[in-house]
């Protein structure tokens, strides 16, 4: 059966309003969900659905698609209907696409109050259409497209400016008694972003969508997002997350999922406990760790595999893991659940670990408890 998740070291989730994005519950009663956004031309329905299928397979909970043209808007009904996961339409500039997306059956619509002209005048109609279709709205404020009025008032995209923009729009929806809202206040600087979300969390009870916008290429973006989400989730803030990387969207899902697993907000799956290597190593630890990681990619069971370079910490870590190797003298001692089951020559370490991992995974899958 499912492994029990060890208790997180996090504050309890901030209590929020609840909403549903399609089949996915969003808010403090629900697990934190992971989102990404397609990079295909939305109007190319087959390519977009193909990418959504890849995202779904990699664990994406909710997907967002851009809608910059009428052709894209026209594609939304088919995409919303055929996607296996809820589809959010991402609308900038053109209020007419908000209505198109709602009517297309999208699970939610993201609007950017900073760059939809006369947005405030449209709120009544949008609230009406969204209510009629049961479609939640994400108010997505972004530092790069902050409402010009607030930019003038605050001088730049400060945390206060981002929050003021979001709360202003939420307030307009609230005037029409529409509260099916989640909010994001993204900034590319994790320090500004964390402060903005802290302020926002104090000022409303809407669920929050976390993102460090334009976080950069995979390495930098992963770190910025992990640090910022960690600081917020530690305080119980955050209901959905999106890691923005200049990299394929499946990578965003991997990183987002790993962040949640690292915080025990999701059950951990495969975990490689490998040492950094040092002058004592008697084996190429990097290569060994990479080969084991590659060999076990996609394994869907919670398995800790220790890959250790020598006998100092090796046997200890390998014993704590489900499976492990402690290397030395051209050989590897293979541990399973704390016991040395065999010693193999160095060139057999990877294949032995993978064999054993597969065997344990099969046992776990068949375990009726």
Q: Which is nearer to ligand SF4, 250 or 312 (CB)?
A: 312
Q: Which is nearer to ligand SF4, 253 or 281 (CB)?
A: 281
Q: Which is nearer to ligand SF4, 277 or 343 (CB)?
A: 277
67 is in an annotated binding site: no
Best CA proximity match to 252, nearest among 90, 86, 34: 34
Best CA proximity match to 200, nearest among 181, 216, 221: 181
In order of 149, 160, 214, 284, the CA distances from 290 in angstroms are 51, 44, 29, 10
- The minimum distance between CB 336 and ligand SF4, in angstroms, equals 19
Q: Which is nearer to ligand SF4, 301 or 310 (CB)?
A: 310
Structure tokens at 153: 């008032």
- The minimum distance between CB 187 and ligand SF4, in angstroms, equals 38
Secondary structure string (H, E, C) spanning 87-126: EEEEECCCHHHHHHHHHCCCCEEEECCCCCCCHHHHHHHH
Best CA proximity match to 196, nearest among 158, 234, 227: 158
- The minimum distance between CB 292 and ligand SF4, in angstroms, equals 14
Best CA proximity match to 101, nearest among 124, 130, 128: 130
- d(CA 70, CA 92) in angstroms, rounded, equals 13
Q: Which is nearer to ligand SF4, 113 or 309 (CB)?
A: 309
- The minimum distance between CB 291 and ligand SF4, in angstroms, equals 16
- The minimum distance between CB 357 and ligand SF4, in angstroms, equals 20
- d(CA 32, CA 164) in angstroms, rounded, equals 25
- The minimum distance between CB 2 and ligand SF4, in angstroms, equals 32
Q: Residues 281, 289, 349, 360: which binds ligand SF4 (CB under 6 A)?
A: 281
Residue 293 interacts with ligand SF4 (CB under 6 A)?
A: no
Interaction residues for ligand SF4, span 297-326 (CB under 6 A): 308-310, 312-314
Q: Residues 280, 287, 337, 359: which binds ligand SF4 (CB under 6 A)?
A: 280
Which of left, alpha, beta for 307 (phi over 0: left; psi -120 to 50: alpha)? Answer: beta
275 is in an annotated binding site: yes
- d(CA 191, CA 159) in angstroms, rounded, equals 9
Q: Which is nearer to ligand SF4, 47 or 277 (CB)?
A: 277
Binding span for ligand SF4 by CB under 6 A among 62-70, 129-137, 201-209, 273-281: 273-281
Q: Residues 191, 278, 294, 341: which binds ligand SF4 (CB under 6 A)?
A: 278
Residue 277 interacts with ligand SF4 (CB under 6 A)?
A: yes
- d(CA 305, CA 241) in angstroms, rounded, equals 28
> What's the number of CA atoms in the CB half-sphere (13 Å) around residue 125?
12
175 is in an annotated binding site: no
Q: Which is nearer to ligand SF4, 63 or 281 (CB)?
A: 281
Structure tokens at 144: 């790069």
N- to C-terminal Cα separation, the chain? 5
Q: Which is nearer to ligand SF4, 221 or 314 (CB)?
A: 314
Best CA proximity match to 119, nearest among 89, 143, 149, 144: 149
Residue 241 interacts with ligand SF4 (CB under 6 A)?
A: no
310 is in an annotated binding site: yes
Which residue sits closest to ligand SF4, CB atoms considered?
Answer: 309
Q: Which residue has the tokens 């070291």?
A: 9
Structure tokens at 187: 């900034």
- The minimum distance between CB 312 and ligand SF4, in angstroms, equals 4
In the annotated binding site for [4Fe-4S] cluster, the residues are 275, 278, 310, 317
Q: Which residue ranges make up the site for ligand SF4 (CB under 6 A)?
A: 275-278, 280-281, 308-310, 312-314
């Amino acid at each position: 059966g499912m492994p029990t998740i060890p208790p997180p070291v996090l504050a309890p989730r901030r209590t929020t309003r609840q909403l549903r994005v399609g089949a996915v519950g969003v808010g403090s009663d629900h697990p934190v969900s992971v989102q990404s956004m397609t990079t295909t031309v939305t109007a190319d329905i087959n390519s977009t659905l193909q990418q959504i299928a890849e995202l779904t397979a990699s664990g994406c909970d909710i997907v967002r698609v851009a809608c910059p043209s009428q052709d894209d808007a026209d594609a939304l009904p088919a995409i919303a209907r055929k996607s296996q996961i809820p589809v959010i339409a991402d609308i900038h500039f053109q209020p007419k696409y908000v209505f198109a997306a709602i009517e297309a059956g999208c699970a939610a619509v993201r609007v950017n109050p900073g760059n939809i002209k006369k947005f405030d005048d449209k709120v009544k109609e949008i609230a009406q259409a969204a209510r009629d279709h049961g479609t939640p709205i994400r108010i997505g404020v972004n530092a790069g497209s902050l409402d010009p009025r607030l930019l003038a008032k605050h001088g730049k995209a400060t945390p206060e400016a981002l929050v003021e923009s979001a709360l202003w729009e939420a307030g307009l929806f609230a005037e029409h008694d529409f509260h099916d809202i989640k909010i994001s206040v993204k900034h590319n600087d994790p320090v500004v972003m964390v402060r903005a979300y802290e302020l926002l969390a104090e000022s409303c009870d809407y669920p929050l969508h976390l993102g460090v916008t334009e976080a950069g290429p995979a390495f930098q973006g992963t770190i910025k997002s992990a640090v910022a989400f960690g600081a917020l989730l530690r305080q119980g803030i955050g209901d959905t997350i999106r890691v923005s990387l200049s990299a394929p969207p499946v990578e965003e899902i991997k990183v987002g999922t790993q962040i949640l697993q690292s915080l025990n907000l999701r059950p951990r799956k495969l975990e490689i406990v490998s040492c950094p290597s040092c002058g004592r190593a008697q084996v190429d630890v990097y290569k060994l760790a990479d080969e084991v990681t590659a060999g076990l990619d996609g394994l869907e069971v919670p398995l800790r595999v220790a890959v250790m370079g020598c006998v100092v910490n090796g046997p200890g870590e390998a014993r704590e893991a489900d499976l492990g190797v402690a290397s030395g003298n051209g050989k590897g001692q293979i541990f399973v659940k704390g016991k040395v089951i065999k010693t193999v020559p160095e060139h057999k370490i990877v294949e032995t670990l993978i064999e054993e991992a597969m065997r344990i995974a099969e046992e776990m899958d068949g375990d009726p408890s």
